[in-house]
Amino acid sequence: MVLIDFSLLNIAKANLSFSDAILSLIPLFLFILGMVVYAIFVFKFYRFVARRDIFKLNLKKHSKSFRGFLENFFHLIFYTFEYLFLFPIFTFFWFIVLAIIIMLLSETQAVSNILLVAMALVGSVRATAYYNEDLSKDLAKMLPFALLGIFLLDISNFSYYNSWLMIRQLPDLWQTIIYYFIFIVALELILRIAYLLINPLLSSKDIPSEEAETRIFPKKIYKSKRNEEEINGR
């Protein structure tokens, strides 16, 4: 109890002021806010990019109004638009955002190298997503959190001005950025085709061949199965 009273006495005698407290707590608040915002971004980033199906628009449902050949044709059109146009655009958007974040946290690398690292990370995440989404999630959050740790340990060298100069160099590398966009479109195309070809073969070991085939053309109905259901219904 004596020690507690002595500590309280020292605190009472200290020259504490509200203005000094504000000056000390504002940097702490900004650090907490920045880390929370960054952690939320990384959380959204790896959960978004690391999924094999980034978002489920289910555009193929619009093909149900057609029948036969037209149904399969429009199903293919919507499927191609969703996976080979929208998916790469959203993936490329995250690539640009990730590259800018790396520029803010790492000022010792050339902009071209930063773009290379960012695209390599996004491409690797997309590739592993078709193998195992858990592996893809671990890979997607590895580099961003590692950069945060490096930034916190070496924060004295941080400069908003240098980071802004690096960001301003992005328009000068527009050709490289276009090449990377073409690459991510081609990568998504190859991965999706490989998935469509390999997945039914692997799934056919555990499910009937009719169901495995309907994963590519989901509205295909076998007459024998339909007749059997009609007989059982009677």
What per-residue confidence (pLDDT) applies to 49?
A: 79
Q: Is 146 inside a domain boundary?
A: yes
* Phi-psi group of 2: left, alpha or beta (phi > 0 → left; psi -120 to 50 → alpha; rest → beta): alpha
Count of structural domains, the chain: 1
What per-residue confidence (pLDDT) applies to 18?
A: 75
Q: CA nearest 133: which of 195, 197, 52?
A: 52
Q: What angle do CA 173, 178, 184 make, to 5 degrees?
A: 125
Q: How far is CA 234 from CA 55, 57, 77, 230, in A?
A: 41, 38, 39, 6
Q: CA nearest 109: which of 142, 140, 49, 150?
A: 150
Q: What angle do CA 93, 95, 101 make, to 5 degrees?
A: 110
What per-residue confidence (pLDDT) applies to 119?
A: 92
Is residue 54 helix, strand or coil?
A: coil
What per-residue confidence (pLDDT) applies to 80?
A: 73
Q: Is 231 inside a domain boundary?
A: no
Which pairs with CB-CB distance under 8 Å and at least 24 residues apart come from 65-71? 71/219
Residues in the chain: 234
Enter the tokens of residue 219.
Answer: 């509205």
Q: Is 140 inside a domain boundary?
A: yes
- pLDDT by 10-residue block (mean), the chain, 234 residues: 52 68 87 89 81 64 55 69 77 86 79 91 90 88 84 75 84 91 89 85 56 44 49 54
Q: Is 8 inside a domain boundary?
A: no
Q: Is 166 inside a domain boundary?
A: yes
Q: Is 31 inside a domain boundary?
A: no
Q: Could you give the CA distance from residue 45 to residue 55 in angstroms, rounded to a whole number?
A: 13
Q: Which domain holds residue 137?
A: 57-216
Q: Is 33 inside a domain boundary?
A: no
Q: Is 199 inside a domain boundary?
A: yes
Q: Could you give the CA distance from residue 142 to residue 120 in angstroms, rounded to a whole number?
A: 13
**What single string gives the DSSP state of each residue in 71-131?**
HHHHHHHHHHHIIIIIHHHHHHHHHHHHHHHHHHH--SS-HHHHHHHHHHHHHHHHHHHTT
What per-residue confidence (pLDDT) applies to 65?
A: 56
Distance of CA 50 to the CA centre of its chain: 5
What per-residue confidence (pLDDT) applies to 212?
A: 43
What per-residue confidence (pLDDT) applies to 133?
A: 87
